[in-house]
Structure 1
Amino acid sequence: MATQSIVVYCGSSPGTNPIYKEIAVELGEKMAARNIRLIYGGGGFGLMGNVADAVLQNDGEVTGVIPNFLADLEVAHNTLTELHFVETMHERKYKMVQLAKGVIALPGGYGTLDELFEILAWRQLKLFDGPICIINVDGYYDLMLLQLDRMVTDGFLKEENRALLSVASSVEEALKLTESYWDNIT
C-alpha cells in the first residue's frame, strides 16, 4: 500500500516534443519505486496515460478521477487501481486534491494551467497544505515563470505566495522537493 500520494497535472495529449513523454514515464516509474500513489485525471491518453501506465507497469498504485461527461471523450483508463467518476470538473479537481499530499505539474494545456493555478490559489488561501512543484522540462514553463515574476513586480502577487510554487528541472529534483516538504511537516 502506498505511503504517500501526489496529484499529477499534465496534458491529455502527448505534445510535440518526445521529451514530454520521457519525463511522464520517468515520473511514473520513480513514483512507483518510492511507493507514492498517483492521483490524476483518469484519462488513458497523452501524458496522463503515460504517467499512469508507467506507475502501473512498475507495480504502483493509481487513482483516477474523471467526470462522467469526459469518461468517453478522454476514454477513461480502465485498468487503474481505483477510478472515481464525478459530475463536474470542479468536483474532479477537489476530489483529486482531497486524495493527495502534494502536486506535481508536467507540460499541458489549458486544463493543466487551470488545475495548477487553482491549487496555487487554494494554497495561498490555506485551503490546501502540500507542496506544489512544476517540472520545467526543456524550458516549457519559462514564460509562465516570467509572468509570475511580473505579477510580483507589479504588486499583484506577494513574494511569499510566489514562493509557493517550486520549480524543478528534473523528475528527481521534483520528487526530492516534494519529499523534503513532507519531511519538514511531519
Structure 2
Amino acid sequence: MAGWSIHEGQAVVLDRRDVDTDQLIPARFMSASRAEGYGRFLLHDLREGDAEFPLRRHPEASVLIAGPNFGCGSSREAAVYALVDAGIRVVVAESFADIFAGNAVNNGLLTIATPEAAALRAAIGMGTAPACIDLASRRLSVAGSEQSFELTETAQAKLINGWDDIDLTRAHAGEIRNFRDRRKTDHAWTWPSR
C-alpha cells in the first residue's frame, strides 16, 4: 500500500449515524476476490436505487464526513477495503468503532474523530467542499474550517509510510536483532546447548 502525507480532495456528507460494517460492505459480497476490488460494493444496499445517494452524486469524493459511531458492528476488515477501493482516504465523524479505526490505519485510511463533524456536515450539505489533510501538521481544512486532529505517532508513521503492523515491526528489525544477540550473550544459560 502506498503511503501519503497530504491529501487534497472533495469532501462529501454521509449524514447517518451508526453506519456499521455490514452496511459498508454486505457479507454476500465478501466472497469476491480482493484483487477485483471491493469499491463497487461500498454501501451497496444504501445506494441501490437511490439516485440522490451522496457517493452516487459525487463519485469523485475522497473524504467522507459521516455521523457518530462510524464503523460499528463486526470486526470486518473488508469494510475498510471497500472504502479504500472506492477512493476514500479520510473519514471524519464524531466517533468510530475501535476495531474499525485500527483496521483503517493499517490499510491507509485516516479516521478523524472530532466533535466538529456535525458542523462540517451542516456546512457542506448536499454538495461537496474542498478538503486538505496534512498528516505531518495534523491539520484538517474543509468547508472553510481548519482544525487540528489527534493522531498517534504510530498511526502517523503507518499512514505516511504505507505500513501495517508487520511493516512497523520490520522497521525495528535491527533493534530486534540487537536485542536477540545481547540476550544470547547476557543469558547464555537460557539458550539450548547444541
Q: Same fold (TM over 0.5)?
A: no
TM-score by length of 1: 0.33
* Larger helix share, 1 or 2: 1
TM-score (norm: length of structure 2) = 0.32
Q: Which has the higher contact order (CA 8 A, sep 6+)?
A: 2
